[in-house]
Structure 1
Amino acid sequence: VTVDLVDRPAQAIEGIAYFTVSELLQNVSKHSRAGAASVGVWRSGDRLMLQVRDDGRGGARLDGGTGMSGLAERLGAVDGLFVLDSPEGGPTTVTAELPWRDRAGTAAKPVGAA
């Protein structure tokens, strides 16, 4: 696990991020046959970035059940993004973005804004 954050996001965003990573790691343990997995968390401008990778068999799909598609829908509901890259034979990388809100609940200024 690698976390590169100066500040913590708002509790609601942090909770969504935790749930997302937890669900993705559960998918790794249940389905991927991976020997290793990694988690990265960082901020990029006004976005909280999450990435979960594994060295498993790949083949994960958004239309393969409710797991991945449910995560994508939950992130979309809060203006987030969910990107799945999982070719047959692996590896699998899931990158998720959430809007950054600070602990006071205010949105981050876009990059370059004064």
Structure 2
Amino acid sequence: GIHPAVLTDRGLDAALSSVAGRCTVPVAVQVDLDTRPAAAIEGIAYFTVSELLQNISKHSRARTARVEIWRSADRLLLQVRDDGQGGASTDSGSGLAGLAERLGSVDGLLVVDSPAGGPTTITAELPWRDR
């Protein structure tokens, strides 16, 4: 996709705060990065969180959600949590399966923890590349 201007100009914190504001539930956003990753990695992180927040709006029946992004060594990590009904999976044909496949194509990883009854925690890892 095309990067939104706020992502290009101000980075993940501002861009994800904007996306969170459009979610149907209140979303707390915490971005703990000293520097910005390469534009391609930043874009993948942005679109991953955007898709996960859309899933929360459409499917979770959550009351609240949280997004956290941080760097650990040579990886960019992001975690999206909600207090909804759970049951999310990466079974074939699901939107999460497609997301996991896209992340895998850039040496990324998607881990879904979503027991029936909730809550759901989805963690994604991407390779860190300097800007």
Instruction: Output the TM-score relative to the length of structure 2.
Output: 0.77
2: CA distance between counterparts of 1:102 and 1:64? 33
Question: Is there any run of 5+ residues in structure 2 with no aligned partner, and where?
Answer: 1-28
Root-mean-square deviation over aligned CA pairs = 0.8
Distance in 2, matches of 1:99 and 1:64, equals 25
Of 74, 95, 100, the match for 2:128: 100
How many residues are matched? 103
Give the Cα separation in 1 of the matches to 2:106 and 2:43: 12
Tell me which stretches of 4 or more aligned residues in structure 1 moved more than 4 Å. Answer: none
Structure 1: segments with no counterpart, 5+ residues: 104-114
Task: Say whether 1:36 aligns with 2:64.
Answer: yes
**Corresponding residue for residue 7 of structure 2:** none
1:20 equivalent in structure 2: 48
SS of match in other structure, 2:102? helix
Query: With CA pairs under 8 Å and 6+ residues apart, which has the higher RCO, 1 or 2?
Result: 1
> Identity, % of aligned pairs?
77
1:17-96 matches, within 5 Å, as 17-63=45-91, 65-96=93-124
Structure that is richer in helix per residue: 2
Give the Cα separation in 1 of the matches to 2:57 and 2:107: 28
Name the CA distance, whole Å, in 1 between partners of 2:77 and 2:33: 10
